[in-house]
Amino acid sequence: MPVNRKCIIRLSRYKNALQRLKALGFVKVFSDNLADAAGATPSQVRKDFSLFGITGNRRGGYVVDELIEQLREILGKNETQKVVLAGVGNIGRALMRYEGFGGGGISILAAFDIDPAKFDENADIPILPLERMHDFISENDVKIGILSVPDVAAQQVSELMQAAGIKGILNFAPIQLRGDDGAIINSINLEVELENLIYFVNAAKKGVKE
């Protein structure tokens, strides 16, 4: 059975829910515990786990520590994931300051921009000229990139990343990017997401009135 993107998103939610349950003192959990904590159904939890050969004990449930480790391995969190960022504007700087990446096994090695006023090679996350990005990616064997450049530059910078060996791009520019056959591009358009949210909130309000 193929694994789709929604399944992977649920696995991330299960992992985060398990970490919260562990902090509360849980040593073992059942699928219904995990479903409640992650906003799923027990049958969906079991179905998702079965895709990856994860099994529990009908009476004993799942061992929390073991399950977290299994999910971390599936999600690639059992080793540090090296990332580069292009575009040190408001979104880029916010991502560079986000402390949650470290706990999630994600390390932004460097950021790149075209504005000399932003360059800082000695910062905790060095900010380097864009023309150095290709060599940096190749030399450090980086496979993941974050794109937070203006939309007019996004396709060009995306192609530079891919040419250097980047295989996955998280795109914050408000356009759809073209990728080569070996690249995966996930786009996050904050305006579209807000528009969708506004629509459903307004639709719900109208439904109540009617």
The whole-model pTM stands at 0.72
CATH number at residue 11: 1.10.10.10
| Together in a domain, 121 and 178 | yes
pLDDT score, position 3: 67
Look-up: residue for tokens 């023309």? 131
| Together in a domain, 68 and 87 | no
- DSSP for residue 176: P
CA gap 142, 105 in Å, rounded: 14
Query: Given 58, 74, 90, which residue is the final one in a domain?
Result: 74
| Together in a domain, 159 and 66 | no
| Domain total of the chain | 2
CATH number at residue 95: 3.40.50.720
Instruction: Find out whether 149 and 164 touch, Cβ atoms under 8 Å.
Output: no
User: Strand 81-86's sheet: what is its strand order?
Assistant: 127-129, 106-113, 81-86, 144-147, 168-171, 184-187
Six token digits for residue 182: 């070996």
pLDDT, one tens digit for every residue, the chain (210 residues)? 456 778 888 898 998 899 899 999 999 999 998 999 888 899 999 999 999 989 877 778 899 999 998 998 888 766 788 999 999 999 999 999 998 887 778 899 999 999 999 999 999 999 999 999 999 999 999 999 999 999 999 999 999 999 999 999 999 998 888 877 778 898 888 888 888 888 888 888 776 544
Would you say 60 is a known binding-site residue? no
Instruction: Find out whether 174 and 151 touch, Cβ atoms under 8 Å.
Output: yes
CA gap 6, 21 in Å, rounded: 22
pLDDT score, position 210: 44
pLDDT score, position 128: 98
User: How many whole angstroms from its chain centre is CA 160?
Assistant: 21
Would you say 89 is a known binding-site residue? yes
| Cβ burial, residue 183 (10 Å; 0-12/13-18/19+) | middle
pLDDT score, position 1: 46
- Domain residues for the domain of 91 are 81-192
pLDDT score, position 178: 84
The answer to the question of residue 198 being in a domain is no
| Together in a domain, 63 and 96 | no
Concatenating the DSSP letter of every residue in 48-59 gives: HHHHTT---BTT
CA gap 188, 60 in Å, rounded: 40
The answer to the question of residue 199 being in a domain is no
User: How many whole angstroms from its chain centre is CA 159?
Assistant: 20
Would you say 92 is a known binding-site residue? yes
pLDDT score, position 188: 86
Would you say 87 is a known binding-site residue? yes
Six token digits for residue 78: 């059992």
CA gap 66, 77 in Å, rounded: 14
pLDDT score, position 2: 57
| Together in a domain, 133 and 49 | no
